Structure 1
């Protein structure tokens, strides 16, 4: 589930007409890790780290005050862990959610699922290079999602081994075109790739995805993709 190329237009023009840098808050209890992430992001054009938090409580406070475009949040922190921070900043009860990318050393399924259920728009390991880190930030800011490739492959393999549940129909059924868009989204296609494959404009793809989210009662494309797999709309080998 990645959408790095869709995020290229995420930077909003400033009043003067120049692109506005994407703002990032880093939350990690280890100062060397925060410094490393800041330096890595510093190599990516158009991204500006505007704050650093050393624990979960500070992360929530700073995020609510600074309103960054994206928060990079460690999974294990004192005070509040990364999943709790994500839920407070982007959970179902949050009226104006922030974009959260969880980043961790621990490649555990319980962390991945917990973070995504809490509202995270991405999940990376701390060994991610600057390019993948920058792509995750841009994707999250654009409303898309990026999950570390090896985690995505494992998650899809897990879905492929599960019994296929009867698809749970949304209150307002998806149209055939929306079902096709959902299948491609769940297979990890970006908005640009979906548009090219279906011969649709990017705006039309985004409109379809908005309708899908509303009908399925989910908050973002990560949850929509998980619902597609859970209900048997798409299989890992697709």
Structure 2
């Protein structure tokens, strides 16, 4: 007998297209461990998020009335602990840099394979970063302007444990996966990552991962294996 699901991943979908909201809701609600608790367009986004406080937000970057960047800024300004992934029609959207620098945990193109969508949401909820399969890190790195990113010299201010966590983060591991690698609890990993973000002066895990790459940590770790 299958054991009951004890904790659902609560998701809100923010998109101006009803078809996208309905389609994504149908796909995600079919997963036993995910529940779409609400959907909204950009104008109604903050009210819905304030009412539901979901775990994961799938946020369209281009919407009339109020765009995704504005919604993301308010989420961060209010200090809400929600993981946000950006939805976009293109894998070369010129707003992606601002979204990642603003703390988004990755982005998905809207034609992402429906079979992959639930697992991507699980990865987001677990503290990982996600990109649609059509998008490589080199593409994303090209959008993050060096002058807008953190000073890679700030990596020297991290402890050895923090550097090790940053390397794992740069490889896309979730908090639980990092904890398993380092024999730490996910809560401890999450606390370390908050400290790392503060020391590096970045808003999100994606920006931290790219700082690690620019600083050569990922290449060094790969060569040491």
TM norm. shorter chain > 0.5: yes
Query: Structure 1 stretches of 5 or more lacking a match?
Result: 1-16
Q: Which of 24, 27, 34 pairs up with 1:40?
A: 27
Assess, with a 3 A threshold, how the Cα gap between structure 1 residues 94 and 236 changes in structure 2: closer, same or farther.
Answer: farther
Aligned twin of 2:153: 168
- Superposed CA RMSD in Å reads 3.1
CA distance in 2, matches of 1:37, 1:236: 39
Say which of 81, 94, 104 aligns to 2:67.
81
Which whole-Å deviations, capped at 9, do the CAs of 1:186-234 have from their partners, x for residues lacking one?
A: 23344455456x5534546555434423432334322211222344444
Select which of 46, 71, 75 maps to 2:57: 71
Q: Which residue is equivalent to 2:132? A: 148
Instruction: Work out the CA distance in 1 between the residues paired with 2:29 and 2:68.
Output: 23
Runs of 5+ consecutive residues of structure 2 not aligned to the other structure: none
What is the CA distance between 1:116 and its match in structure 2?
Answer: 1.1
* Aligned with 1:107 (options 91, 105, 128): 91
Aligned length: 213
Report SS of the residue matched to 2:97.
helix
Query: 2:123, 2:174 within 8 Å by CA — same for their partners in 1?
Result: no
**Residue 79 of structure 1: CA displacement?**
0.9
**In structure 2, C-alpha distance between the alignment counterparts of 1:98 and 1:190, rounded to whole Å:** 15
Deviations 1:113-145 (A, max 9, x none): 122122212311111123432123223333332
Contact 2:61 2:88 in 1 (8 A): yes
Residues 23 and 50 in structure 1, CA contact (< 8 A), matched pair in contact too: yes
Measured in 1, the distance between the counterparts of 2:46 and 2:59 equals 10
Following TM superposition, by how much is the alpha carbon of 1:40 offset from its aligned partner in structure 2, in angstroms? Answer: 1.0
Structure with higher RCO (Cα < 8 A, 6+ apart): 1
